[in-house]
Structure 1
Amino acid sequence: MGNVAVTDLKPGQKIASPVHTMLGGRLMPKGKVLIPRDLDVLRAFMIEEVDIEGGGVPDLPVAKDAKNTTSSAKTPTPAPKASPEPIKKAAVDSFQLEYDRMLNLVKSSFQSALAASIPVYDLRSQLETLLGMMKHYKILTFVPKNMNEYDYMYHNAILSSLTSYSLAQWHGLPQKDWVQVALAGLLHDIGNAKVDPDILYHPSYLNNEELEEVRMHTTYGYQMLRNIPALNEGVRLAALQHHEKIDGSGYPLRLTGDKIHVYAKIVAVADIFHAMTLKKRYRKAQSPYLVLEEIQSEAFGKLDPAIVQTFIGKVTELHNGIRVRLNTDEIGEIVFTDRTHPTRPMVSVKGKIINLVQNHNLYIVEIIN
């Protein structure tokens, strides 16, 4: 091993020790094989030298000369490995299939909630099937197929459920709470079943009387869930409290932070994120990164700051390599995310590294799957 000046690095060399920025953030992991774009990233961060395995340029394979070959034995050609892409696509399709089943069940449950009991056991069973496939659910990039704008409320319920499940784990809640938090996310808006549909789906601003009716969905939801023994009190309180704010400015009871149940605090973050990133009848879907910045600003007095910090840190953690569209309509690829500015990553556009922290007029408007 040995340190090699960045100016002398070549694609194909392997990093022997992690590379860190001047502020201590990990730029590249140990064992990473350098590609041409990585050399641009290292230069952009003013890294002078890197610890490289072997300390030099790797030996390149030498082509064999048939005339100088001393052995006539032929090396058997290994059978080509099966491409993982069809397997991966099948798994993703299976997740989408189970998601669609969940969607149909949630729709029928919400629509019949006033006339019949809520089928909690059926909902939980299908939810647990989805939760068993969570590795195929990426919060920032997952978009439901065939999104019907009239089904927004049901999509929001499912996505809030899945996101709340992940957030409960990340926030350190005991394992016994994880599925209950997921149920809290799934049922947090069940009270909308009692709200006048003409008001609920109104495409423009509501008057004060209509707004008060919509806000009643929190109280309605708690009343609908309070006598269901399969749900714990946290699930019921999430339906009641997910619009409360830690500074006491929320509704329906104007509770302050210490009186809001942790389930409600988690569901509130998930609900806001998906409410803003899903397409509605009267509004386009917003950029996940812009929404994260808005949620970050809400952490000051409105949302639980520790939960917000955990959420933003985790969902942006593994997205290096993701292709994105900037507000200039340029397509780029995320090459580094500074943990102190997780919503403003460095993006490679046509070979140029753009640091969004330093370019406030630029931002990501779309993640391209």
Structure 2
Amino acid sequence: MPYIAVGEVKPGSKIIQDVVTPLGGTLFPKGKVLLPRDMEILQAFLIQQVEIEGSESEAKASEPAKSGNKAATAKTGSLINESTLYRNSVLHDEYEKMIALIKNCYRSAAAAPLPILELRNQLEILISHLKEYHVLKFAPRTLNEQDYNYHNAVLSALTSYKIAQWCGYPQKDWLQAAFAGLLHDIGNVKVDPSLLLKPESLTNEEKEEVRRHTTYGYQLLRNVTAINEGVRLAALQHHEKVDGSGYPLRMEGSQIHVYAKIVAVADIFHAMTLERAYKKAQSPYLVLEQILTESFGKLDPVIVQTFIQKSTELYNGTRIRLSDGRHGEIIFTDRTHPTRPMVQVEGTIVNLATERELYIDEIIA
């Protein structure tokens, strides 16, 4: 099978060996059919030659390339239509049922037992569609600012389940980690709602009252069956920090339950990327960077690193909008800079690892 100089490679050629960058990252995987734009990418990475199928196989490979071009042409349609299609999914249907259920639970939690079996059944149905869920892509169809706590609960449940998977914890822990995410802020039902929605800075007394949601949550869950002690401890400990600077008990490292460490990461991510009554939603990529830089000594480093690496594993061609409003697509992600991939914008390759003033504001499709 011949190596061909990049300058002689034609669109439609099929790669039969991974194309590797000088730094060791995989630029194109074995089996990829090269499109016209890929020629520029190869040259940008200073790739000298690639191994492709022979001329007979190359001719066959050009057919899927044509269909790929049609798909690419179709993508030039309305971004609004794409976003609408993405949000018309079974996952969104089940997500909205979970939102309605957890809302009812919050409203009655202070006076009635939690319908834990109903919650479990709906959570299991929701998780059965988890293949449609991507942490950086998923957005609710509608987001009422007053419903922030409910969305944070359900999104933290989904993300905690994924983190438990990604970190290699036993399967028996995955659903319980999701329960921990779902119920971690249940103690807020006993906190004055005006404090939770207050746009101004809280007084010291008000901060103390809000912080009591952790102990309130543990008390509410203490006698609930069908959840394990880790779920209860996540409600109590999700604001603890590994250096002992958190609350309510200033626990350190191994004293904090692993579910609480998982939920802490999920909760912070969604708290920063959801629209709130007094705070605009932030770019998920910027939030990941903030979590990384601000987590030293605060959050579990293995969980943080795993979360960032796994959540940014997007396929090349993923369409994005940059912070300056331009649209483009991801063409390569260097795993040493997972939040700052190379993107192609208006025919130009932009390396976000070096152009630090830019960042990905939103994933379009």
TM-score normalised by length of structure 1 = 0.90
Partner of 1:38: 38
Work out whether residues 274 and 282 of structure 2, in 8 Å CA contact, stay in contact via their aligned partners in 1.
Answer: yes
Whether 2:4 is the aligned partner of 1:8: answer: no
Distance 2:122 2:135 in 1: 19
- Alpha-carbon offset, residue 254 of structure 1: 1.0
Matches within 5 A, 1:328-343: 328-343=324-339
Whether 2:349 is the aligned partner of 1:353: answer: yes
Whether 2:196 is the aligned partner of 1:200: answer: yes
Q: Identity, % of aligned pairs?
A: 62
Which shows bigger deviation, 277-286 or 183-192? 277-286
**Structure with higher helix content:** 2
Task: Select 1:262's aligned residue among 253, 258, 262.
Answer: 258
SS at match of 2:143: coil
SS at match of 1:325: strand
Work out whether residues 18 and 27 of structure 1, in 8 Å CA contact, stay in contact via their aligned partners in 2.
Answer: yes
- Alpha-carbon offset, residue 126 of structure 1: 0.2
SS at match of 1:348: strand
Distance 1:319 1:263 in 2: 29
Structure 1 letter corresponding to 2:8: D
Structure 1 unaligned segments of length 5 or more: list them.
62-84
SS at match of 1:153: helix
> CA 1:302–1:257 in 2, change beyond 3 Å: closer, same or farther?
same
- Alpha-carbon offset, residue 139 of structure 1: 0.9
> CA 1:144–1:48 in 2, change beyond 3 Å: closer, same or farther?
same
- Alpha-carbon offset, residue 55 of structure 1: 6.7
- Alpha-carbon offset, residue 146 of structure 1: 1.4
Per-residue CA deviation, residues 280-335 of structure 1 (Å, 9 max, x unaligned), is 01111110100010111133111111111111111111242222121222111111
Whether 2:322 is the aligned partner of 1:326: answer: yes
Structure 1 letter corresponding to 2:216: Y
Partner of 2:110: 114
Task: Select 2:270's aligned residue among 270, 274, 286.
Answer: 274
Work out whether residues 164 and 177 of structure 2, in 8 Å CA contact, stay in contact via their aligned partners in 1.
Answer: yes
Structure 1 letter corresponding to 2:211: R
SS at match of 1:58: helix
Work out whether residues 10 and 57 of structure 1, in 8 Å CA contact, stay in contact via their aligned partners in 2.
Answer: no
Task: Select 2:146's aligned residue among 144, 150, 165.
Answer: 150
> CA 1:37–1:57 in 2, change beyond 3 Å: closer, same or farther?
farther
Task: Select 1:223's aligned residue among 215, 219, 223.
Answer: 219
Task: Select 1:179's aligned residue among 166, 175, 181.
Answer: 175
Distance 2:120 2:91 in 1: 16
Structure 2 letter corresponding to 1:225: L
- Alpha-carbon offset, residue 23 of structure 1: 1.4
Higher Cα Rg, which structure: 1
- Alpha-carbon offset, residue 60 of structure 1: 8.1
Q: Report how many residues are paired.
A: 345
Per-residue CA deviation, residues 98-152 of structure 1 (Å, 9 max, x unaligned), is 1111110000001110010111111110000000010111110110011111000
Whether 2:351 is the aligned partner of 1:344: answer: no
Distance 2:18 2:293 in 1: 32
TM-score normalised by length of structure 2 = 0.91
